[in-house]
Structure 1
Amino acid sequence: MAAELRRLRAAAQLTRDDVMDRTGINAATLYRIEKARARPQKRTLMALLDLYGASESQRADLLAVQIGSADQGWLRPYHSELPEEYAAYIGFEAEARTVRNYESLFIPGLAQTEDYAHAVVKGGLPMASQREIEQRVQARMERQALLTRENPLRLWAIVDEAAIRREVGGGKVMRAQARRLLQLMEEPHVTFQVIPFDKGAHAGMPGSFLHMDFPDPADPELVYVGTPAGDLFLESEAEIRRYKLMFEHLQAVAVGPNDTADLLTRLAAASE
């Protein structure tokens, strides 16, 4: 819906301010709708479709999405309590064809064991309640079903060596996490690489990010960057090019999957 509404507005040659002037819909509200961060009310959707001159078939399709989106299959009842940006990310990820994920300090969420995820969330959100921690962990575990569905998500993950060395949850948890990564690397749709400490400075040192593309070529690629000040969804061509180039640099500096597997095997076999 978000992508189609953006296309319709562009075809009508209207800015968000133009839409606000003609419909009274706040520009910030329109931005959130077009970024899939908010579901439009029916009257809001109808006003937009009227303004954009949408065809009857477009109206029917988008109204069906609007009705269905109130009960999205990827949302569990408790997901409404998750931060809005994280819930939006879950939706994008569920529709993606490929996720390219660089992490500087953490094992990627799609590859985390439950014990590791629990330790990460608890340590990273010290003010969170036990309920909030459990909701986060449960959501993370559910997301991993994307890797085992009939048409699995393609995951290419690169991490700094710090991510596999830091003992999140203790040595036992990390050894189990290393075994989990080795398991995943046996799947043809999963690639995992490590950037060793001895590679020195590299393009990923400023922070983690994810790049997603989607099965429908009409859907724009997306970059997601989580920050303490809030999560960002980037989709301009310049931003996409910049992060794709950054990921290519990280692929080049990281050791290959075989050497990565050797490193993880040593970690998994480390003594207590």
Structure 2
Amino acid sequence: MASDQRDPDALRVHFGEELRRMRMRAKLSQSQLASALGCTPQWICQLEKADKTVSEQTALDLDTHFKTDGWEHEEGHFLRIYTTIRRAGRHRALLPGFDAYLHHESRAIGIRCFAAQVVPGLLQTESYARGLMMPGESAETLETRVTGRMERQAILTRQNPPMTIFVLDESVLHRPVGGSKAMAEQLDHLIGLEQSLHVDLRVLPYGRVSPAGLEGSFILLSFVQDVDLMYIEAAGVSQLIEGRSTTFKAGVRFSLVMGESLSCTETFELLNRVREEYS
């Protein structure tokens, strides 16, 4: 299965094959196993044929029934396959190149982000994130992307979180992603960051024109020893840049944008005023 570790469809087939193998070894019919698990024989059949999406609870139930290695600690055979399926699904749902960025983001000690269009992923609420999803994608892909985005945010509350600075163009606050209710929730979330010790949030207002802010969004990651990395997205493709010259210029650009932004007090006063527009 090594070559298929990033193919969720192949992994679901593997799950079904393993289910059938264990069922046959236990000399159980599909009906007998279904009766033991409290489901229908059709459900078992669909799992074995990889026609059904595998759920975590299904994996846990199968591990418990067959007493697979590690089942007592929720580390059984079927749960391990399920975890790999889930990981592969996330990889498929990511923008090309974004998985490499996530690896570096998780070990960064500093994150500087200028957002020119939308609230950055690390600060998004679930309803706002859903409002950004492309309608042409499958429901499974959309759910995977939203779940992954929410789980990413754990780095902001972990022990020793990175120091982060986010500068949002004011237009981000007035773009009603997901509708008024979603925007109200999103603004409430941003306002709640005022007391954060690790998140510095600023707004670049309409009244201050910064040429450095007209070139689009970007993120800079800083590390304990490694050089900074720059991340950008455009037209559904992401790019991670590690050239010293490029990241240095991006750092200068971020400083210029930061210099034109509102102070912390002014930022949260503006956030509260805009929040009233969505009441």
> Could you list the per-position Cα deviations for residues 84-140 of structure 1 after superposition, in whole angstroms to 9, with x for gaps in the alignment?
41111111111111110001010011010000011012xxx2422221111111111
SS in 1 for 2:230: strand
Regions of 4+ moved over 2 Å: 75-80, 267-272
SS in 2 for 1:206: coil
SS in 1 for 2:233: strand
Contact 1:158/1:195 (CA < 8 Å) preserved in 2?
yes
- Write the distance in 2 (CA, Å) between the matches of 1:138 and 1:260: 29
| Corresponding residue for residue 189 of structure 1 | 198
CA RMSD of aligned residues (A): 2.0
Residue 117 of structure 2 corresponds to residue 105 of structure 1: yes
SS in 1 for 2:227: coil
- Return the letter of the residue paired with 1:147: L
CA shift, 1:163, in A, is 0.6
- Equivalenced residue count is 195
For structure 2, the residue ranges without an aligned partner over 5 or more in a row are 1-82
SS in 1 for 2:262: coil
- Write the distance in 1 (CA, Å) between the matches of 2:107 and 2:119: 22
Alignment of 1:24-103 (within 5 A): 76-83=87-94, 84-103=96-115
- Write the distance in 2 (CA, Å) between the matches of 1:271 and 1:223: 34
SS in 2 for 1:231: strand
| Corresponding residue for residue 153 of structure 1 | 162
- Write the distance in 2 (CA, Å) between the matches of 1:229 and 1:120: 13
- Write the distance in 1 (CA, Å) between the matches of 2:215 and 2:199: 25
- Write the distance in 1 (CA, Å) between the matches of 2:104 and 2:93: 15
SS in 2 for 1:244: helix
CA shift, 1:152, in A, is 1.0
> Could you list the per-position Cα deviations for residues 60-94 of structure 1 after superposition, in whole angstroms to 9, with x for gaps in the alignment?
xxxxxxxxxxxx99x94532323341111111111
| Corresponding residue for residue 134 of structure 1 | 143
SS in 2 for 1:91: helix
| Corresponding residue for residue 250 of structure 2 | 243
- Write the distance in 1 (CA, Å) between the matches of 2:242 and 2:278: 45
| Corresponding residue for residue 240 of structure 2 | 233
CA shift, 1:268, in A, is 2.4
Identity among equivalent pairs (%): 31
Q: 1:259 aligned to 251, 266, 272, which one? A: 266
| Distance change >3 Å, CA 192–CA 201, structure 1 → 2 | same
For structure 1, the residue ranges without an aligned partner over 5 or more in a row are 1-71
- Write the distance in 2 (CA, Å) between the matches of 1:163 and 1:155: 18
SS in 1 for 2:159: coil
Give me the TM-score of the superposition, normalised by structure 1.
0.67
| Distance change >3 Å, CA 148–CA 76, structure 1 → 2 | farther
Give me the TM-score of the superposition, normalised by structure 2.
0.66
- Write the distance in 2 (CA, Å) between the matches of 1:187 and 1:196: 22
- Return the letter of the residue paired with 2:92: E
Q: 1:269 aligned to 248, 259, 276, which one? A: 276
CA shift, 1:147, in A, is 0.5
CA shift, 1:271, in A, is 5.5
